[in-house]
Amino acid sequence: MKKIDWAHEFEYKMSICPMAQSLMVLSSFIMFIKNPSLLAALWFIFSVYLFPLLTSRLVNIFFPTREGRYRIGRKGVEGWVLQLKIQIFLTTFPYFERALHMVPGLYSVWLRAWGSKIGKRVIWTPHVEVIDRNLIEVGDDVIFGHKTVLTSHVIFRIKDEHLVYAKKVKVGKGVIVGGDSILGPGMVVEDYVQVPALTQIIKIKKDNNGVLN
Mean pLDDT, range 105-130, rounded to an integer: 97
Q: What pLDDT is attached to residue 213? A: 47
Going by pLDDT thresholds of 50, 70 and 90, the confidence category of residue 161 is: confident
Is the model's pLDDT at 1 over the cut of 60? no
- Whole-model pTM: value is 0.87
Per the rule left: phi > 0, alpha: psi between -120 and 50, beta: everything else, 2 is beta
pLDDT tens figures, 59-94: 999 888 888 888 776 655 578 888 989 999 999 999
Q: What pLDDT is attached to residue 177? A: 97
CA distances from 133 to 102, 130, 143 (A): 19, 6, 17
pLDDT tens figures, 7-56: 556 666 678 899 999 999 999 999 999 999 999 999 999 999 999 999 99
* 94-213 maps to CATH 2.160.10.10: yes
Q: How many CB atoms lie within 10 A of CB 88?
A: 16
